[in-house]
Structure 1
Amino acid sequence: MNERSVRVRVPATSANLGPGFDALGVACTLYNEMTLTLTHEKGLHISARGEGAAYIPGDERNIVWKSIQYLLQRADRAEEFQGAKIRMNNRIPLSRGLGSSATAIVAGLTAANAIVGSPFSRDDLLQLATDIEGHPDNVAPAIFGGFTVNTVTNGHVECFSFLPRIFMRFVVMVPDFYLSTKSAREVLPSEVPMKDAVFNVSHAAMMVAALARGSEKHLGNAFEDALHQNYRASLIPGMFDVFAAAKKAGAYGAVLSGAGPCLIAFAPEHRKCTEEVAAAMQEAFLAHDVKARPLHLRLDTKGARVLHRKESSVKKK
């Protein structure tokens, strides 16, 4: 009897990017890796090390396992593979706004898809991942890499992934506290003024145009937002001061990463600038009694990848 194993790597992501609420995302060079072995016998063995390992469920509640099961059911292979061995090596901080849950979903789907012969395309995986996650802004860049523009029309998800003509680095400040997506969503209003909606449509469009065309001068105000950051500011002490400090130190702009509490600055491609931006953001956070550590990241251009495949024979006892 054969067991099939694959090892996959999935990038961290940042969603919204300021004005692109639930629509824009970016993949970053920080990765979780997972090795999946599907077994014909029932039984679930999950191990995790690294970021947040102590908080990751080791049973049926695990989101990686749920995603694997979802794909197997859709592929009509759930009866064939009833158990799994899952080993996770996590580098992406948990519950910080860097797409850790999306990474888990995409890892499970990508690995299971590879094991059963890749019946689903990346577009198919995007739809499955969005079904699980509820919105595509994190799962899309995790699958495709690059900057992504995502739409959902009558339940159908589409993603346009592109590489910007402006080379930049990302400075991510990771505060020393957690913030659940649920809590960050609860502070948002159910309706917003028309002027705020227009503000965000125009700024999100300007950002995509500036990145695609390579126009740095049009990025200066493109990261501004009126739909979610104002409402979430009370959850992250000093947020707007940190944004201002990043821009003053040379960043194009800074935004809340996903639902937070991480903040991400988009900086020109030279190391001295990113170091100055990181120091300025760290100092601004400290002024509000928040300790934060910097991550210096670049754009991931590949998205989720299968790193290794293995098939081995297992003798029945």
Structure 2
Amino acid sequence: MSGVRVTVPASSANLGSGFDALGVALGLHDVVEVFVTPGGLTVEVTGEGAGQVPTDESHLVVRALRAACAATGTRPPGLLLRCHNVIPHSRGLGSSAAAVVAGVAAGFALAGQELDERALRLAAGFEGHADNAAASLFGGVVVAWSEDDGFRAVRLDPHPGIWPVALVPAQESATSTTRGLLPATVPHADAAFAAGRSALAVHAFTTRPDLLLAATDDRLHQSYREPAWPATIRVIRELRAAGVPAAVSGAGPTVLALPADGTLPDGVDLTGFAVRPLPVDLVGVRTEPIG
């Protein structure tokens, strides 16, 4: 069988002030092997989600792969997928975006085509926003936006002094649920605050990490979502009071902390949270042939 191995990183989106616009790729990777077979579909899942996610055409990697095959004009007669998942599901670390990006990258690789703007638009279309998908595709720090003809993103080199630490609780969270907590409108002052802080975040993540505490402050989404995960907001407030930049990772409930030296301060109650230092992934999704 001919096939491809796809390694795709986790991601953290929003980064405090950059709601649906900023993201960073993290050094935690799912691996998907895709083989072309004479017919049928077989999906094998190990690790996160094993025994819980579907193993038929509704599997997210399969759906994204089918979309990529349609976009590239390929029709494999059959497929065998082996998915080894380590990115926690429903925790705000971009597991869904990683699955979509893995499927899209596999489809392009099987077609012998390089990833291009179509890949981002396909992947972001599944999510409805491009920050997670762009980070998993390109690595580093990304700025994402949408235009009439689809999603766009640019990759930026992060400052080498960025040391992400993910604080991952056992609690799961659904993006659809937490988005439902957001108001339809926000005060103009809060929108202006967000514009300034998200612009500052671009500078802080790439050039001046000493400005991250101010840059990751937020008024658009985190406080509205506090009823969904109060412990997450408590930890963020305690970290920020101790001078550590911290924000909700994506739709939560994971906390993304950015201590200057990668070390969290004493005195913050992290009960119920697994502490996972994760370097910035600078490469993004990678593919290699199998067989």
Interval containing the TM-score (normalised by the shorter chain):
over 0.9
Per the alignment, residue 268 of structure 1 pairs with 260
Shift of 1:111: 1.2
SS at match of 1:168: coil
Task: Give TM-score scaled by structure 1 length.
Answer: 0.87
> Matches of 1:48 and 1:59 in 2, distance apart?
11
Per the alignment, residue 35 of structure 2 pairs with 37
Per the alignment, residue 310 of structure 1 pairs with 290
Deviation larger for 225-234 or 235-244: 235-244
Unpaired segments ≥5 residues, structure 2: none
> Matches of 2:267 and 2:135 in 1, distance apart?
28
How big is each residue's C-alpha offset from its partner over 1:145-183, in whole Å with a ceiling of 9 and x where there is no partner?
Answer: 001001111133221111223512111111111111111
**Segments of 4+ in structure 1 off by > 6 A?**
none
> Matches of 1:280 and 1:63 in 2, distance apart?
41
> Matches of 1:280 and 1:26 in 2, distance apart?
27
SS at match of 2:277: strand
Shift of 1:87: 0.3
How big is each residue's C-alpha offset from its partner over 1:190-226, in whole Å with a ceiling of 9 and x where there is no partner?
Answer: 111111111101100011122333351x323111111
How big is each residue's C-alpha offset from its partner over 1:109-165, in whole Å with a ceiling of 9 and x where there is no partner?
Answer: 1112111111x5332211111122211010000000001001111133221111223
> Matches of 1:26 and 1:280 in 2, distance apart?
27
- Give the counterpart of 2:148 among 137, 142, 154: 154
> Matches of 1:111 and 1:33 in 2, distance apart?
11
How big is each residue's C-alpha offset from its partner over 1:68-119, in whole Å with a ceiling of 9 and x where there is no partner?
Answer: 11011112223xx13210001111000100000000000011112111111x
Shift of 1:280: 4.7
Residues 1:203 and 1:13: Cα distance change in structure 2 (over 3 Å) = same
SS at match of 1:8: strand
Amino acid at match of 1:89: H
* 1:166/1:211 contact within 8 Å kept: no
- Give the counterpart of 2:52 among 50, 55, 60: 55
Per the alignment, residue 233 of structure 1 pairs with 226
* 1:106/1:304 contact within 8 Å kept: yes
Instruction: State how many pairs are aligned.
Output: 291
Residues 1:166 and 1:246: Cα distance change in structure 2 (over 3 Å) = farther
Amino acid at match of 1:133: E
Asked whether 1:176 is paired with 2:156, we answer: no
Task: Give TM-score scaled by structure 2 length.
Answer: 0.95
- Give the counterpart of 2:94 among 80, 94, 99: 99
Amino acid at match of 2:185: E
Q: How does 1:85-164 map to 2 (within 5 A)?
A: 85-118=80-113, 120-164=114-158
Give the percent of matched residue pairs that are identical in Structure 1 and Structure 2: 36
